[in-house]
């Protein structure tokens, strides 16, 4: 019975040494998934940031988008911290939140950019029509003034 007890003790000690290997193998897919989610979130936030800069360049009001972008950045920072702490499931959750917000911000920024360009084009048309109308009014007024002046000049002679 002592040899069976020794064998059981040896197997227990051996299993304790092999346990980290099995745990790391089990956590590897979760760790890989967390790393992938964080990379995707980084790309999403970077893309959203570029879209916000383009919308701002088109003179769109992006103040609300910047607030949302800050929230996405906070979730991304949380995901990185949780990943380093080994909490891969919560890291994936935070990274997914960051990705979702980043995509929403990017889509809204693109929409604001389109609207800003649309209003710019409308404003340009109004200015062009106003300029042509002004030129036509000056030409027409000059012609009328010239005719009035011509009649009065010939009446005085």
Domain boundaries in the chain?
2-156
Q: State the pLDDT confidence band at 102, using cuts at 50, 70 and 90.
A: very high
Give 132-146 pLDDT, tens digit per residue: 889 989 999 988 988
The answer to whether the beta carbons of residues 48 and 106 sit under 8 Å apart is: yes
pLDDT, one tens digit per residue, over 44-86 is 999 999 999 999 998 888 989 999 999 999 999 999 999 999 9
Q: How far apart are CA 149 and CA 124, in angstroms?
A: 37
Q: How many angstroms separate the CA atoms of 107 and 46, rounded?
A: 13
Instruction: Please give the C-alpha separations between residue 26 and each of 22, 29, 31, 135, in angstroms, as whole numbers.
Output: 6, 7, 9, 78
The answer, as to whether pTM is greater than 0.85, is no
Can you read off the two tokens belonging to residue 132?
């042509």
């Amino acid at each position: 019975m002592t040899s069976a007890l020794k064998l059981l003790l040896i197997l227990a000690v051996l299993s304790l040494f092999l346990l980290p290997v099995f745990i790391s193998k089990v956590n590897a897919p979760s760790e890989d998934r967390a790393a992938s989610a964080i990379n995707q979130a980084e790309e999403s936030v970077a893309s959203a940031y570029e879209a916000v800069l383009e919308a701002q360049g088109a003179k769109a009001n992006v103040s609300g988008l910047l607030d949302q972008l800050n929230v996405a950045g906070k979730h991304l920072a949380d995901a990185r911290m949780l990943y380093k702490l080994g909490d891969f499931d919560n890291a994936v959750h935070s990274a997914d939140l960051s990705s979702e917000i980043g995509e929403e911000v990017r889509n809204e920024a693109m929409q604001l950019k389109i609207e800003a360009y649309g209003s710019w084009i409308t404003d340009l048309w109004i200015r062009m029509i106003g300029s042509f109308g002004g030129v036509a009014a000056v030409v027409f007024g000059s012609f009328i003034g010239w005719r009035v002046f011509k009649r009065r000049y010939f009446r005085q002679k």
